[in-house]
Amino acid sequence: MNNTNKTNLADNSRRKFIRGFGLLVGCSTAATLLTGNAIAVAMSYAPNADSTLTNGKVFTRAQLLQLEKICSIVIPATDTLGAAEVDTHGFIDNQLYHCHSKKVQHKAIAMLTLLNVEASNHFSRPFIELTSNQQYQLLNDIDQGKAAFNKQQRSEFKFLKQLICFGYYTSEVGATQELRYDPVPGGFKGSIPYKETDASWATSTLFS
């Protein structure tokens, strides 16, 4: 295969990915996440089972552990691995470092700090030490922009969720096994054909 054909195949693959990801998270969000060399960086990331053992490029070890837990709640493990199991937290750390400004990196850090502050205010413990129900309650509150959280904080948490989605669906598991995705779970839509051989829905939590 000559270089021209290889380039055309790469361009077609990139366009297909952008279209698919745009349908998944919205075109405006995809445009934000896929600027510059974002796709190349994402596709070259190798998951690391030990990513929470040391500080990352942007996050401290404690923040990576917190982010790992958030990933596990946003896209939990079902019959396939969830976001935490495929090192989406490590992916986000790497993606923020290589593809986003210091301002965006600081906002991501501030989001984790905010969740820790609110966890301490409401439950007298840091986020990572809360029960699963308490962690879910806190994330659901910020996801809806209610309780102690405002619209701006909701928007910033939404960006973090979108990074989780980006990381998961560019992983091997997300790309090859989780072939169907429900961005608005829980709503009823009748008369949708279903076969037992159809792929499972990817997630059912924290996407409004």
Four-residue CA torsion sign, 11, 178, 28, 164: negative
Joined tokens for residue 200: 């499972």
Per-residue pLDDT of the chain (208 residues; tens, 9 = 90+): 444 443 444 444 444 554 555 454 454 555 556 666 888 888 889 999 999 999 999 999 999 999 999 999 999 998 889 999 999 999 999 999 999 999 999 999 999 999 999 999 999 999 999 999 999 999 999 999 998 899 999 999 999 998 998 898 887 765 555 544 444 444 444 455 555 555 444 444 444 4
DSSP SS3 for 25:
helix
Q: How far apart are the first and last CA of the chain?
A: 45
Cα 176–chain centre separation = 17
26: left (phi over 0), alpha (psi -120 to 50) or beta: left
Stated pTM of the model: 0.73
